[in-house]
């Protein structure tokens, strides 16, 4: 049986803080939402936004096998 996975992308300071930018993550069962996977990966960032399959998403968005989930921290700098 094939494992249900999503492709997770980290950008900006999240990539630096976690030491990786892209990874395949197995989806736990039952159905996982963006917020549940964020908690499982220990990703914390004020002002964080999410994109599922390159469309902005909300924390309660359900994830399906094969999805791409991007964690988008706020843009800083000048």
52 part of a folded domain: yes
Total count of domains within the chain: 1
Please say if the pLDDT value at position 20 is more than 80: yes
Q: What is the pLDDT of residues 24-78, one digit of tens each?
A: 999 977 778 999 999 999 999 999 999 999 999 999 999 999 999 999 999 876 5
46 part of a folded domain: yes
Q: Which domain holds residue 29?
A: 5-72
Residue 63 is part of a domain; what is its CATH number?
3.10.20.30
Tokens of 71: 């964690």
Give the pLDDT of residue 30. 74
77 part of a folded domain: no
Task: Give CA–CA dist 26/36, Å, rounded.
Answer: 13
Task: Give CA–CA dist 77/51, Å, rounded.
Answer: 22
Give the pLDDT of residue 78. 58
Task: Give CA–CA dist 75/72, Å, rounded.
Answer: 9
Give the pLDDT of residue 29. 77
* Contact residues for 15 (Cβ-Cβ < 8 A; gap 6+): 21
Give the pLDDT of residue 58. 98
């Amino acid at each position: 049986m094939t494992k249900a996975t999503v492709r997770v992308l980290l950008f900006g300071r999240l990539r630096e803080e976690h030491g990786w930018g892209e990874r395949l993550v197995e989806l736990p069962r039952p159905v996982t939402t963006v917020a549940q996977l964020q908690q499982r990966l220990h990703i914390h960032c004020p002002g964080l936004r999410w994109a599922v399959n390159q469309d902005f998403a909300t924390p309660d968005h359900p994830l399906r096998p094969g999805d791409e989930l991007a964690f988008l921290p706020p843009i800083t700098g000048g």
